[in-house]
Structure 1
Amino acid sequence: MKFKVVHNCINVFDLDKSMTFYEEALGMAEVRRITAEDGSFILVFIANENSEHQIELTWLRDKKEPYNLGDNEMHIGFRTDDYESAYAKHKEMGCICYENPSMGIYFIADPDGYWLEIIPTR
């Protein structure tokens, strides 16, 4: 039996704000959308042309306050072929939340506080 990772799911408080962030920061766009008939949830799958892997943004209508991510010990990694330009863009956006120059990586935080690791192509 073979398995292929196809997506990660994260819950988002403000779907429009999250979609705007992922488009601007990582060049991701909507691939498909599932909306509950009763409007209780919306699932938006986003990706970019550089990978088949998708992120599923899950919005829940009845969620009234931002998510508590606890210690936020998870992250999603993104490799870039232009690390310097990516760093400059994210610095300008004000979304860099942690830098590790000795490892040559940094992290950005999305509108809900999820960390996204930026890794140069080596």
Structure 2
Amino acid sequence: MNFQFAHYNYNVINLEKSLDFYEKALGLKEARRKEAADGSFILSYLTDGKTGFQLELTWLRDWEGDRYNLGDNEIHLAFTTDDMDAAHKKHQEMNCICYENPDMGIYFIADPDGYWIEIVPAKSNTPQ
């Protein structure tokens, strides 16, 4: 029996705002979408176009909160980049950097719903 990663899910309050953020911040594009016939949910699967991994964004029509409870944000996705300086500048301009660890050479950005995403140099010995 073999298992492979398929996708990871984040629930989002505003799907269009999240889609815009993930495209601008990380270059992710919507690969496919599933919408409930009754309009109760939309699933949007984002891809980097290079790996098979997908990020599923779930929008729920009947969600009544204004935020999801993310706890202490210790659970996160990590992305590598081949140009940390350019990535950092871009994310700084987007005002989405929420935590930096210069000693480790990494930083985190936060999406519109407050999910943290770690940015790591592509060739790094830093534990991820």
Q: Shorter-chain TM-score: which interval?
A: over 0.9
Q: CA deviation at 1:48?
A: 1.3
Q: CA deviation at 1:2?
A: 1.4
Q: Does 1:26 align with 2:60?
A: no
**Once superposed, which parts of structure 1, at least 4 consecutive aligned residues long, lie more than 3 Å away?**
none
Matches within 5 A, 1:29-108: 29-64=29-64, 65-108=66-109
Q: 1:9 and 1:72 mapped to 2: Cα distance?
A: 14
RMSD: 0.8
Gaps of 5+ in 2: 124-128
Q: Which moved more, 1:18-27 or 1:2-11?
A: 2-11
Q: CA deviation at 1:73?
A: 1.7
Matches within 5 A, 1:99-118: 99-118=100-119
Gaps of 5+ in 1: none
- The sequence identity of aligned pairs, in percent, is 59
In the alignment, residue 87 of structure 1 is paired with which amino acid? H
Kindly tell me the number of residue pairs found equivalent between the two proteins. 122
Aligned to 1:4: 4
Q: CA deviation at 1:62?
A: 0.7
